[in-house]
Amino acid sequence: MEKDRVYKGKVKHSGIFDFKAFYDFLYDYLMDSHYDVFEKKYGEIKKAESKNLDIFWEAKKPMASIGKGPSKYFVAQIQVRYTVLGLQKVKVKRDNEEVSMDSATLELDFTADLIKDPENKWDGPFYKFLRNLYDKYIIKSRIEDYEMEVYQDVSEVINAVKAYLSIEGRWNF
């Protein structure tokens, strides 16, 4: 297996929002984008009035071969690490109605990779040599297209996250 890093970045948000709704939104967004999402880690540290969370997701989808269907040689992977500090329930007034929301500092670290040969079928010195030739000279432009597609996927996810958090932050509380 070989990984080509396509993107690495962060999104930060501090304020009032509904964490569970955001969590569900991001999960559903990735699933709707044909990624399988796996929660690899969930850590929670409770403080007196609040808690801190450390969550790690790995989302994967096979890249579609042109005119064929899912490829077994290429897989897109987006990893998301949630760091949530000071998560606590707060009561706020929204449209003259009292509602329960969350207040926290949320930091999301995103990485996106194009994984080649995820099943290690081209393992061993001779096969790796052949794979490097194949990747470099025969399918170079396809790899570049797939890397651009993975980059566009993660960019769309990040834009959706920013829009969601921006809309949540606009309410008059």
Domains within the chain, CATH numbers bracketed? 2-169 (3.40.198)
Q: What is the mean pLDDT of residues 134-141?
A: 87
Tens-place pLDDT, residues 36-92: 999 999 999 998 899 999 999 999 999 976 556 677 789 999 999 999 999 999 988
Q: For residue 5, what pLDDT is reported?
A: 97
* Percent with pLDDT over 70 in the chain: 94
Taking 80 as the threshold, does the pLDDT of residue 122 lie above it? no
Separation of first and last alpha carbons in the chain? 50
Q: What amino acid occupies position 18?
A: D
* CA dihedral of 117, 82, 161, 169, whole degrees rounded to 10: 180
Residue 68's Cβ-count burial label (10 Å; 0-12, 13-18, 19+) is exposed
> Average per-residue pLDDT in the chain?
90
Q: What amino acid occupies position 161?
A: V
Q: For residue 43, what pLDDT is reported?
A: 97
* Percent with pLDDT over 90 in the chain: 67
Taking 50 as the threshold, does the pLDDT of residue 108 lie above it? yes
Q: Tell whether the torsion through CA atoms of 77, 6, 1 and 56 is positive or negative.
A: negative
User: What's the pTM?
Assistant: 0.89
Q: Where are the alpha helices (DSSP H) in 12-109?
A: 19-32
Q: For residue 121, what pLDDT is reported?
A: 79
Tens-place pLDDT, residues 77-89: 999 999 999 999 9
CA gap 39, 171 in Å, rounded: 30
Q: What is the mean pLDDT of residues 86-108?
A: 90
**Residues for the chain: how many in total?**
173
Q: What is the mean pLDDT of residues 3-7?
A: 96
Lowest mean pLDDT among 6-15, 23-32, 34-43, 63-72: 63-72
Q: For residue 7, what pLDDT is reported?
A: 97
